[in-house]
Amino acid sequence: MYNLLKGKRGIIFGALDEHSIAWKTAERVHAEGGTFVLTNAPIALRMGTINELAEKTGSQVIPADATSLEDLENLITKAQEILGGKLDFVLHSIGMSVNVRKKRHYTDQNYDFTHKGWDISAVSFHKVMQTLYKQDAMNEWGSIVALTYMAAQRSFPDYNDMADNKAYLESIARSFGYFFGNDKNVRVNTISQSPTPTTAGSGVKGFDGFIAYAEKMSPLGNATAQDCADYTVSLFSDLTKRVTMQNLFHDGGFSNVGVSKEVMEKFMEE
């Protein structure tokens, strides 16, 4: 390890279990010398195994529903008290579609479900940043990252309303990135990650076929959760100080491939 995050403090949202992208990121940030508070929705804290991660990384856990401003205000105030100062990095690794969960087709949405999923998966990113901004909780040259998926740009039928949520999330990164950059020299980016076998990922219908297809389409293969953790650390480090307002594809090249030899060969099979 390289001590890339030595002396840096932050908050990591979304570690549910050891498969979570946020879990791998927390382990990697810890290895690079960063300190942080872990957070998740109260119900996820009951169902998941986050205490194990907290112990391993010497972190405290503060429950927060990312759609609740009150919870976020409490979280961000307490995190600064616990860590001993303003924050240098924040990871938003949160996503949930009630329509997907309840198996409602994209053409037959329940709009209460749509609204809830949008609030959790997209607007929560704005709420997190607005709370950080109002509390002036970020240090200069800090870095904020959220995770997204390419269904924001291209259609993937089974991704359902999460596609729209991700498009909104990416737009928030650009819009808030402008103000955070101008006013506080803080950068805001989204990482557009390969399909990854986690609780959220596996909830998408036909996920196994989907991940196998992406693997065959990507010259470097699918990026794993561990790879994503490494990439996120680079964005939290001082080595990427002027990267902001970007949607960064982290997908082994998938997003720029029209067709691959392997996928062609599948169609040539008798």
Return d(Cα 38, Cα 29) in angstroms, integer: 12
- The yes or no reply on residue 41 touching ligand NAD (CB under 6 A) is yes
Which residue from 118, 149, 159, 231 is in contact with ligand NAD, where contact means CB under 6 A?
Answer: 149
- The yes or no reply on residue 109 touching ligand NAD (CB under 6 A) is no
- The yes or no reply on residue 185 touching ligand NAD (CB under 6 A) is no
- The yes or no reply on residue 16 touching ligand NAD (CB under 6 A) is yes
Beta bridge partners of 60: 37
Which residue from 142, 177, 201, 252 is in contact with ligand NAD, where contact means CB under 6 A?
Answer: 201
Count of CB atoms situated within 10 Å of the CB of 156: 17
**Choice between 5 and 228, CB closer to ligand NAD:** 228
- Report in angstroms how near the CB of residue 194 gets to ligand NAD at its nearest: 7
- The yes or no reply on residue 74 touching ligand NAD (CB under 6 A) is no
Contacting ligand NAD within 158-177 (CB under 6 A): none
Q: Which amino acid is it at 19?
A: H
- Report in angstroms how near the CB of residue 49 gets to ligand NAD at its nearest: 11
The site map against ligand NAD for 205-244 (x = CB under 6 A) is ----------------------------------------
Which residue from 34, 142, 195, 252 is in contact with ligand NAD, where contact means CB under 6 A?
Answer: 195
CB 17 within 8 A of CB 23: yes
Return d(Cα 214, Cα 241) in angstroms, integer: 31
- The yes or no reply on residue 130 touching ligand NAD (CB under 6 A) is no
**Choice between 95 and 142, CB closer to ligand NAD:** 95
- Report in angstroms how near the CB of residue 265 gets to ligand NAD at its nearest: 25
Return d(Cα 130, Cα 161) in angstroms, integer: 24
- The yes or no reply on residue 247 touching ligand NAD (CB under 6 A) is no
By CB under 6 A, name the binding residues for ligand NAD.
13-14, 16, 20-22, 40-41, 44, 65-67, 93-96, 120, 147-149, 193, 195-196, 198-201
